[in-house]
Amino acid sequence: MAGRKKKNLIKVADLKKSYQRLEVLKGISFDVKKGSVFGFIGKNGAGKTTTMNILTGLLRFESGQILINGMDFLKNKIELLKSIGYLPENPVFYEYMNAYEYLNFIGEITGLKTKKLNFDILHLLKVVNLKIQAKRRISGYSRGMKQRLALAAAIIHEPDILFLDEPASALDPEGRLEMLALLEELKRRGKTIFLSTHILNDAERVCDEVCIIEEGRILLDEKLSDLYDKYIQPVFDIEFEKELTVETEILNKLSWVESIKACGKIINLSVNNIKIGRAEILKVLSGLDNYVTSFQIRKSSLEDIFINITNQGRKVK
Amino acid sequence: MRSFRAYFKKEFKEAARNYKYLILAVGFIFWALLDPLMLKLLPLILKASLPVELLSQFTNINRDYAFLNLLKDLFQVGTLFFVFSLMGIISSEVSKKKLVLPYSRGLKPEGMVLAKYIHYAITVSIFIFAAFLTNYFYVKSLFNSGVLSIQIVLWSCFLYILYFAVILALLLYMSSLFKKSIIPGLLVLAIVYGFNFFNQLSLIRNYLPNYLILRAADLGVFFDTSLIPTFFISVFLIAIFIFLTIIRMKKIDVA
């Protein structure tokens, strides 16, 4: 895949949505590449669920354009919905039905053939770990079980695009890991996943690209790898074999070194240019008499980046 | 068609498992059983406490009176059961966000609306038919005299079924307009009972569905030309309310 440019599957341009006087989406634009996992991140009330509801045809919008697979979403809604699966944050079911009946009901609406549908439902119930409870009424299900059933309903027709709104929010740690493994499997099978999540560790694990939304505006939309490079902190943490003697003095003389904190065998070295620092530091350290036992560039997590960006209210896009 | 099929089956399951069939059966058939018995037993119960002149009114009951008593109860109390048990037919699905998953799967609103309407129209028709027949056989065995015959009962039954079919379409539309179920319920009841007043105005009454109720109680008189506008308008109202509900459900935000 390296070097090959992926095609944009979803293109959203200047999307606006208001609830009476409250402008929830203030002209957001972004692209989602085919076969990628697109992390849609934001605080509560930022506009994530509204965006997802619009992209799945459940809400109308005032202005803007949505293209899915090159087709106008408004004009080809019914056709495009066939290739979309949606897992809402709080799925609601007909609770007097059991899981098997509900999936059958959704399958019938989708237009799946009865014989194949029966087989698919049994397989899906196994995938989402609900096979044992398949004949139990949904009213007796926990929130996590309902979320897993909603996931089964979302993927019953093998959609090309999946919209997942907080898919792991109601799951226990084991269920969360299973969900992430399932997302990785779906990604491996070439599905495009639009993932809204609060759990940034999950986004870090599965997303290719992240988009941060705040108060109805996109603050950032970048590849995760580029983001780490961009928001990497210009600090090197170096540990030496022996107590520090002349090392601090030598390093301090270098033009690209901003400051040094030294304590015992450890140096925290800040640089004014991360690129030069990365290129030069190992050369300098190899020339010293004191051996290096540990060396690392201090990395920002997605959580650090998210907090940093949302606090600054920095508008990248 | 697939949305219609899926929702028809769903409505059947829902009505059976949430006891809607039972509530509707009580609302219609219960009165058919209870009314003749009460009319028969009341004079015996009140024998000791009522003066003879008043008591004679209860003892001179014939089949026609007993049957008209059912018609009155079905209109007054049966309508209450019917409206209160079905007032959330669409509103509760929208307000509780039950339509999110089906809509995201490409549900066709026309299929859903028609499935709901046809399912409950059939259900109510069966219960009204059962209520009328049950009442007829009771009335026939408990009372004497009167013009009541099976033809009269079936004709009245048909007029009642058509009337409830109009109310169902109105309820369906009202339920699509509001998120709180009680509002369409109260509005429909106000319309149903309020419009009964127009039955006193001979100039316009046969242009309103409530005329069907009046004519159902006109025992022994079958079809005449005054019913033509009533039939036409009733069918037109059913079609227009269903059409408006479909339009509404196509434009509504279900999330």
Of the pLDDT bands very low, low, confident and very high (cuts 50, 70, 90), residue A314 is: very low
Average pLDDT over residues B212-241: 92
pLDDT tens readout for residues A235-255: 888 999 988 888 888 998 898
Task: Report chain B's mean pLDDT, rounded to a whole number.
Answer: 91
Q: Where in chain A is CATH 3.30.70?
A: 233-297
> Considering its fold, how many domains does chain B have in total?
1
Give the pLDDT band (50/70/90) at residue B82. Answer: very high
Determine what percent of chain B falls in helix, strand and coil, rounding each to the nearest 5. 80, 0, 20
Domain that holds residue B232: 2-251
pTM to 2 decimals?
0.84
The reply to whether residue B98 touches residue A58, judged by beta carbons under 8 angstroms, is no
The mean pLDDT value for B99-103 works out to 94
Cα separation, B187 vs B43, whole angstroms = 38
- Report ipTM (2 d.p.): 0.87
B180 contacts chain A (CB < 8 A): no
Averaged pLDDT score across all residues of chain A: 87
Residue B48 confidence (pLDDT) above 90: no
- Contact B14/A at CB under 8 A: yes
For B13, the token pair is 């399951």
Residues of chain B with pLDDT > 90, as a percent, come to 71
In chain A, % of residues over pLDDT 90? 45
Which residues of chain A does CATH 3.40.50.300 include? Answer: 8-229
In chain B, residues with a C-beta closer than 8 Å to the C-beta of A88 are 97, 100-101, 104, 255
Give the closest-approach CA distance of A28 to chain B in angstroms. 20
Task: Point out which residues pair with A87 in neighbouring strands.
Answer: A164
Can you tell me the mean pLDDT for B101-124? 95
The CATH code belonging to domain A233-297 is 3.30.70
Counting one residue from chain A and one from chain B, the pairs whose CB atoms sit within 8 A come to 81
A92 confidence band (pLDDT: 50, 70, 90): very high
The answer to whether the Cβ–Cβ distance between B105 and A60 falls below 8 Å is no
Judged against a pLDDT cut of 90, whether residue B103 lies above it is answered with yes
Answer CATH for A8-229 from 3.90.1300.10, 3.40.50.12780, 3.40.50.300, 3.30.70.270 = 3.40.50.300
- Picking from B2, B6, B254, the nearest residue to A58 by CB comes out as B254
Q: Is A265 exposed, middle or buried (0-12, 13-18, 19+ CB in 10 A)?
A: middle
Dihedrals φ, ψ of A215, to 5°? 45, 45
The H or E element spanning position A293 is strand A292-297
- Chain-centre distance for alpha carbon A239: 34
Q: If pLDDT is split at 50, 70 and 90, which confidence band does A233 have?
A: low
Of A163, A141, A160, nearest to A151 (Cα)?
A163
